[in-house]
Amino acid sequence: MEKKRIADILRNSNPDETVTIQGWVRTKRELKGFSFMEVNDGSFLANLQVVIDSDFPNYEEILKQLNIGSSVRVSGVLVESQGKGQRLEIKPQDIEIFGDSDPETYPLQKKRHSFEFLRTLGHLRSRTNTLGAVFRVRNACADAVHRFFQERGFLWIHTPLITANDCEGAGELFRVTNFDLTNPPKTKSGDIDYTQDFFGKPAYLTVSGQLEAEVMAMSFQDVYTFGPTFRAENSNTSRHLAEFWMIEPEMAFCDLEGDMDLAEAFLKYIFQAVLDQCPEDMEFFNKRIDKTVLETADNIINNEFARISYTEAVNLLEKSSRKFEYPVEWGLDLQSEHERYLAEEHFKKPVIVTDYPTAIKAFYMRLNEDQNTVAAMDVLAPKVGEIIGGSQREERLEVLDRRIEEAEMPLEELWWYRDLRRYGTVPHAGFGLGFERVVQFMTGMSNIRDVIPFPRTPQNAEF
Ligand code: 4AD
Ligand code: MG
């Protein structure tokens, strides 16, 4: 008897086939003469219905234990379902119960729970329809990320999580230390003596793998990282996490144009892959979470993204009749309300904004000829706002040094980064895609805490 996943059975199997499934009971209904039980194994949105006749051996006793949340293995024959909503059901020959579950205290009852409440059940919420669908889509996205780059000959590189540099220069770093914080070693002048710390100097959790990706791009041309990044920004919003996953491609011999082309092709590829791999889950989101999800996916795949400069974006915002909370003025960063206006209302599709003012962007971005702007690009998406941030990098040592000094970054610490400009420097570019933001965009989930299994946010590291 073959052990099968429910997704495989409901998609591909036929009546009369004998199968074994295992999973968790979602519902049980006792009727006269027989009972229904629905089992879910996480592979599929739909449950597989098990119809148990009352002449099943130990019927009464087994039924008593088959409660919502309990774990079972069922072997039996597939039959065409009489009921609506499913093609096949299973007539059991053998039912094995692994762990029962008290229906009185099991926190996930058959009614709808709020996502906020489900966040307090981080250990159980992935057994619900919505979170189950989210994490299958998340998996399909991750798979698509690797396929996209591997098909194009990019090397997957692993950048460190512990680093001594602040790539974005925003100071939003979590410190890594093994000091006894109640009594750290001090220097003669009374400062904390980091030479005695584990790494011999201050160290942090990385905010981005970019600088190390640039190193690897200088020997492999096209590389990408895909891993967790950490930011100690105290942002309690529906789009920020303290720990999030980022995909960062880096390409040697590439300019901003090539960077934008890759970003656009990448997003289209991921959307198509998820539609192909998880059609039932995407239908579910479209029906239950956000009625525009499928239309949006279609729109992404089949339309070119808009491309405008920051200066044009500011002009558009100034001309719009919309009242914004934050001021719009050349030189100020775009706020999420501005980003969403551009993508959601003006263009009604993703828009790539380029050439931001030098003063509001990171030190590594390539200075444009006008000296006032840098070769940056942000991809803004309807509903989520900034989904990708990228740039062409400064490959000229003198210019880079000036920018490092202006940003008050430690020139000596970046000796290896500067060396790349000294030995075989080349125009290069890359970007970072916020993985959770793309899952949010795709599923229509309104809070980023519901698209990562174990969200880390200010005041919260439970589970
Ligand atoms: O724009 P960011 O800060 O860019 C970088 O880190 C560059 N080093 C990337 C590169 O060029 N290699 O971040 C990139 C993306 C953002 O566009 C956003 O989607 C996501 O990362 N992001 C966050 N996602 C969730 N929570 C947060 N706190 C995030 N901060 C950024
Ligand atoms: Mg950014």
pLDDT digits 0-9 by tens, 366-381:
999 999 999 999 999 9
For 273, half-sphere exposure in the C-beta direction (CA atoms, 13 angstrom radius) is: 21
Residue 187 and residue 143 in contact, taking contact as beta carbons nearer than 8 Å = no
> Minimal CA–CA distance to 259: which of 249, 245, 268?
249
H/E run at residue 234: none
Distance 165 CA to ligand 2 centre (A): 17
- Other beta carbons within 10 angstroms of residue 453's beta carbon come to 14
Residue pair 255/427 in contact (Cβ under 8 Å)? The answer is yes
Instruction: Give the ligand whose atoms come closest to the C-alpha of residue 387.
Output: 1
149: closest CA among 217, 83, 215? 217
Express each pLDDT in 192-236 by its tens digit.
999 999 999 999 999 999 999 999 999 999 999 999 999 998 888
Cα(388) to ligand 2 centroid in Å equals 7
Question: What pLDDT score does 112 carry?
Answer: 86
Query: DSSP for 75-100?
Result: EEEEEE-SSSS-SEEEEEEEEEEEE-
Tens digits of per-residue pLDDT, 159-184?
999 999 888 888 899 999 999 999 99
CA separation, residue 373 to residues 69, 167, 330, 365, 406 (Å): 57, 19, 11, 9, 14
386 C-beta closer than 6 A to ligand 1: yes
pLDDT at 1: 61
- With a CB cutoff of 8 Å and minimum separation 6, the contacts of 312 are none
- Cα 128 off chain centre by: 19
Q: Alpha carbon of 298 to those of 333, 360, 429, 439: distances in Å? A: 30, 34, 28, 16
Task: List the alpha helices (DSSP H) in 182-326.
Answer: 210-220, 256-277, 279-288, 293-302, 310-319
**Are the C-beta atoms of 225 and 213 separated by less than 8 Å?**
yes
Residue holding tokens 């059901």? 89
Rg (CA), the chain: 27
Query: Which residues make up the environment of ion ligand 2, defined by Cβ < 5 Å?
Result: 389
- Identify the nearest ligand to the CA of 434 by its number: 1
| CB-CB neighbours of 31 under 10 Å | 9
Three-state SS for 213-229 is HHHHHHHHCEEEEEEEE
Residue 261: CB partners within 8 Å, gap ≥ 6?
none
Global model pTM greater than 0.85: yes
| Residue corresponding to tokens 């125009």 | 427
N- to C-terminal Cα distance for the chain?
A: 37
Residue 395 Cβ < 6 Å to ligand 1: no
Predicted confidence (pLDDT) per residue in 44-54, tens digit: 999 999 999 99
* Token pair recorded at residue 183: 């009594």
CA of 439 to the centre of ligand 1 (A): 14
Q: Which ligand is nearest to the CA of 363?
A: 1
Is the CB of residue 388 below 6 angstroms from any atom belonging to ligand 1? Answer: yes
Q: Which residues of 319-333 are buried (b: 16+ CB within 10 A; e: fewer)?
A: eeeeeeeeebeeeee
Phi-psi region of 407 (alpha: psi -120 to 50; beta: other; left: phi over 0): alpha
Residue 306 burial by CB count (10 A; 0-12/13-18/19+): exposed, middle or buried?
A: middle
How many Cα atoms are found within 13 Å in the side-chain-facing hemisphere of 424?
A: 9
d(CA 431, CA 110): 43
What are the residues facing 29 on neighbouring strands?
36
| CA 155 – ligand 1 centroid, Å | 21
Cα separation, 391 vs 379, whole angstroms: 11
CB of 246 within 6 A of ligand 1: the answer is yes
Question: Which 8-state DSSP code applies to residue 333?
Answer: P
pLDDT in tens, the chain (463 residues): 668 999 999 999 999 999 999 999 999 999 999 999 999 999 999 999 999 999 999 999 999 999 999 999 999 999 999 877 789 999 999 999 999 999 999 999 878 899 999 999 999 999 999 999 999 999 999 999 999 999 999 999 999 999 998 888 888 999 999 999 999 999 999 999 999 999 999 999 999 999 999 999 999 999 999 999 999 988 889 999 999 999 999 999 999 999 999 999 999 999 999 999 999 999 999 999 999 999 999 999 999 999 999 999 999 999 999 999 999 999 999 999 999 999 999 999 999 999 999 999 999 999 999 999 999 999 999 988 999 999 999 999 999 999 999 999 999 999 999 999 999 999 999 999 999 999 999 999 999 999 999 999 999 999 9
